[in-house]
Amino acid sequence: MTDLPLSASDGADDFRRKRVLPTLLLLGSLYAAALVTDLHINAVVLTIVVMITLCLLRLPVAIALVAAALLGGLHAGLSMAETVGALNDNLLIGSQVGMTYIMVGAFAVALARSGLLELLAVKISGRLGTGEAAARKSVRWSLLLILGAASILSQNLIPVHIAFIPVLIPPLLGVLNRLRMDRRAIACVLACAISSSYLLLPTGFGAIYLNEILLANVNGVGADLGLTATADMGPKAMFLPVMGIVAGMFVAVFITYRKPRDYETVESKGAATNRPAIALNLTQLLATLAALVVALICQIRFDSLLVGTMVGFIILGAAGIFRWREQDDVFTEGLRMMAQVAVIITIASGFAGVLAATGEVEPLVASAAALIGDNKPLAAAIMLIVGLFITIGFGDSFASVPILAPIYVPLALALGFSPLATVALLGASAALGDAGSPASTISLGATAGLNADGQHDHIKDSVIPTFMHANFGMILFAWIAALTL
């Protein structure tokens, strides 16, 4: 009996196995050499480098986070009990966020039961049926505009964050395949549009980031330094950094991933191929709109995305969008859809807790500040790069602001940066690395939708492309903002 030839995926897996052990041995050797020579390695730097390396070696993100956190805690002098304790103590915070995402996932699945998303996919597929080049080009740009608009609305008007991606994208994968669109471009559009919307527009998640986190921390730290940030300073300070993200998105679409890319036609869950036309029910449409409005009102009124999406879910069930006895099934489907995101967010919170427990975040920033002197251009560049490095580890810009603010605000003011430039430096430094971190909800959401048929790799196709296109332009534009505002 002859052996079957290895497939491309088998060969790739074999290649990865062969490079994992040498890479780990190299890291271990470098670490041992540093210990022998008494070279001090900052625990935060070590932890994040190890985490990123393990992710690039295709270990599950959750395992990479835990393994790197344990190594970083032990390296910082914490005992195993103290390291595990710091990890466990912060899991509670992450689990609260994870539960919110599960409820958001259930709400998104309930919205999908209205048939609006399937109708969209069927209509787009119908337009492709003409086969005309002009029609195909029109569909391509329409899709990009729809995904960009949906990303913005998900942050500022319809509070579902990234949960719309695994609901909206899978029915469209067949269309994307026929158009030969590179899914890496789609991932960049989703990541850049989501990041831009909450960093610039002061509603929904944007109101939380700009007003409740960024400006609140600036005022909290700057009160004794004579700095008072007003509500209008957030969008003004973040405008140029956000334009860097937008520029990166256009580079991804028009340059980096403009060429066609072929994918196998694989039936994925939620695919809209060969389905009959869907007729919209006016009652369902009105109920869906009412659920969205009430969910938004409840989110704002009670300052809770969990409460808002829960109320929206109940309204959709009561209105007959899905059968009342199917509520458990709908909720479970949303749970499955968001389970990986919720787990990684929870563990990432523990990972951030270990980084904070090492006590080496401030020394890292202080050592960077020592290199600066009174050179403002160099100061802005180093502050942005250090912020990028820290946020990659946290995977959450919201969590990075309180960590960076006590150091960045006094440093920026001492170097002569204006209040507006100080807000821009802090806001951009904390946001850098959110899109493109292996543990970021943005990159996880993109993978959850685009990998519905198993042809989109989280690290290679989501993390690396979004990291390059969302962050490189933002660093440049944020640096310009710091020097000109």
pLDDT of residue 12: 46
Among 224-228, 234-238, 351-355, name the most confident range: 234-238
Would you call 375 helix, strand, or coil by DSSP?
A: coil
The angle, 0 to 180 degrees and rounded to 10, between the axes of the packed helices 361-370 and 397-414 is: 40
Q: Does residue 129 have a pLDDT over 60?
A: no
Please, what sign has the CA dihedral across residues 448, 149, 98, 425? positive
Q: Does residue 7 have a pLDDT over 50?
A: no
pLDDT of residue 15: 46
Please, what sign has the CA dihedral across residues 419, 440, 182, 20? positive
pLDDT of residue 244: 93
What CA dihedral angle connects 207, 299, 87 and 444, to 10 degrees? -80
- Please tell me which residue, 239 or 297, carries the higher pLDDT value: 239
**In sequence order, what E strands does 383-469 have?**
none
pLDDT confidence band for 20 (50 / 70 / 90) = low
Chain-centroid distance, C-alpha 189? 12
pLDDT of residue 293: 82
- Please tell me which residue, 267 or 123, carries the higher pLDDT value: 123
At which residue do the structure tokens 């026929």 appear?
A: 178
pLDDT of residue 142: 83
Residue 174 is encoded by which pair of tokens?
A: 């067949």
Q: Does residue 352 have a pLDDT over 70?
A: yes
Residue 14: count other Cβ atoms within 10 Å of its Cβ: 11
Residue 11 is encoded by which pair of tokens?
A: 């060969």
**End-to-end Cα separation, the chain, in angstroms:** 73
Residue 313: count other Cβ atoms within 10 Å of its Cβ: 26
Mean residue pLDDT across the chain: 77
- pTM metric for this prediction: 0.72
pLDDT tens for residues 399-428? Answer: 677 767 777 887 888 788 888 999 999 889
Residue type, 117: L
Residue 328: count other Cβ atoms within 10 Å of its Cβ: 8
Nearest to 122 by CA among 279, 322, 260: 279
2 CB contacts (<8 Å, ≥6 apart)?
none
Angstrom distances, CA of residue 77 to CA of 42, 90, 178, 310, 471: 11, 19, 55, 44, 33
Residue type, 390: I
Angstrom distances, CA of residue 193 to CA of 101, 410, 434, 435: 19, 31, 13, 10
Least confident of 93-107, 139-153, 174-188: 93-107
pLDDT of residue 479: 93
Q: Does residue 381 have a pLDDT over 50?
A: yes
pLDDT tens for residues 53-111? Answer: 777 676 777 788 888 888 888 888 888 888 888 888 877 766 776 777 778 778 877 87
Burial call 200-219: b when 16+ CB within 10 Å, e when fewer:
bbbbbbbbbbbeebbbebbe
The answer to whether 340 and 444 have CB atoms below 8 angstroms apart is yes
pLDDT tens for residues 242-254? Answer: 999 999 999 999 9
The alpha-helical segments, DSSP class H, found in 282-375 are 282-302, 305-318, 327-357, 361-370
Q: Does residue 151 have a pLDDT over 80?
A: yes
pLDDT of residue 3: 40
Calpha distance 321→324 (Å, rounded): 9
Share of the chain above pLDDT 90, in %: 9
Burial call 427-437: b when 16+ CB within 10 Å, e when fewer:
bbbbbbbbbbb
